[in-house]
Chain A
Amino acid sequence: MKTLVKVEETSFGLASRRSFLKMSGLAVAGAGLALAGCSSDDDSSSENNNQMPGLRNGTFDFGGGDTGILTYAYALEQLEADFYTRVVNGNTFGSMFNTDEQAVLADLYYHEVIHRNVLRQVINTAVNNNSQQLLPDLEFMYNGLNFGNRAQVLDVAQKLEDTGVAAYNGAGKYLESAANLALAGKIVSVESRHASVIRSLINPDDAFFAAPDVVDPSTGKNQAKAPSQVLSEVETMGYIQTPFTANYLQ
């Protein structure tokens, strides 16, 4: 049976956000972001009938099933695309990064915008172009991040790429369509290439591209994280301002 954790309000101020996080060990909610963990994998036959993405109680929910997972990926790609757009648009982009770094970051900007646009199209097809079921363009804010600081920008890039890889790795097994799995597979390896290259820009030595925080040294396996864990971490980053919920994802 499905256990949904209710989130009463989605528009917390920063102060109430802290207290809410203390209140519940299961749910994660934030300023402009609210999600509830769903701890059930014995879905009944009623699944999918009412789990399409869309507004629920005034907040957009990612939905469940393949479309929910694609919407979740779309949200993460929106974040990455927005971040790198700001990076390459930055006033100090051409002076702060060397030629190689500029080329890498420009490529990441291109790739993430393309991923975002492809996922948007795939979701549009899945929901028959019903605009009510397409996640809106999210709004972002990067409080505390100085886009004129090389180390800070690379650090966020690393976090976003590592998170993206772990997210696709953890969501793949929930996809029911082989076509969707194939598409996710085509994207995740490029995200992983990104993560590797960004890490080596930060630290070219000590095999930092596959350090133990992301690749288990005994098994050689890259991290995999469930959607609830990824969204909790993304919430902690605090960049996504638009409220949403993910009540039907694991």
Chain B
Amino acid sequence: MKHFKQILFLTLSVFTLGALVPFTASAGSELLNVSYDPTRELYQDYNTVFSKYWLKKSGDALTIKQSHGGSGTQARSVIDGLEADVVTLALAYDIDEIHDKAKLLPADWQKRLPHNSSPYTSTIVFLVRKGNPKAIKDWSDLMKPGIAVITPNPKTSGGARWNYLAAWGSALKQKGGSDTTAKDFMTKLFKNVPVLDSGARGATNTFVQRGLGDVLLAWENEAFLAINELGKDKFEIVVPSLSILAEPPVTLVDKVVDKKGTRKVAEEYLKYLYTPEGQEIAAKHYYRPIDKKIAGKYAKVFPKVKLITIDEVFGGWRAAQTKHFADGGSFDQIYTPGK
């Protein structure tokens, strides 16, 4: 993607800035939001709006710093000592690990805010080439011979784990669907995958710039972004009959906010995401708002689709991680002949 270098540069500079934070004594308070890749533009907008709101409310000039990268990489940075006040990541599992490995936040963090601590949601859709020449309509089309599917490696990309689970869930919800049929479906699907990029943006790049593949499995917001940036005349979005409710959660990093004395502002920062103003910004960046009123306003943008959730179908992230993505899990079994 053409922005890759800028993204890399930004990420690096934010990291450097983040490291410098303790040394730059500033007048107002400062927040560091450690997030994942596709939320960059969303939080740029949100931060501007929130600092204005906070200045009015408390008279405190707030500076908000952002850091973006792969969700797992970001979580590891926080575990290894990056002082994030809040984390806004792609999947709950990464935040669970911040608890497990570094005990920076409580185990029940996800219950602290409404809707599983996810102020906005998304889902997995198909991005196909204009006119949909291979007539890809639903998940079952993906396993047909001659279709090339682009999706990143779910072991290295948090976003791709949602893709994987959406596909698995779709097979499970078929008539007579079971773990065996789902695994069979996934094996056929991954036979059609010619490249496994390590991250979601890399996969988008492969599909869009290199012209590889007939269909890209992508987050809805990423698919919109690709279309807006690269032209409506080249790609279109296909919404499958069933998909997964992708919940990118947000939370406080308790140990850090208590140390820095930023708990109050950090709490407000996350709560404000749930207000109509915050919801509106999320919707503008193609994340599905959870606020009914705002959702109604954007109903035309987000088509209705039947959504399964990770809790009901997979028993939560920890269970899904162990069963599918850990070493020897279902994904490894697809690629490793007999054990």
A and B associate:
no
**Which residues of B pack against A, CB within 8 Å?**
none
By a beta-carbon cutoff of 8 Å, the part of chain A in contact with chain B is none
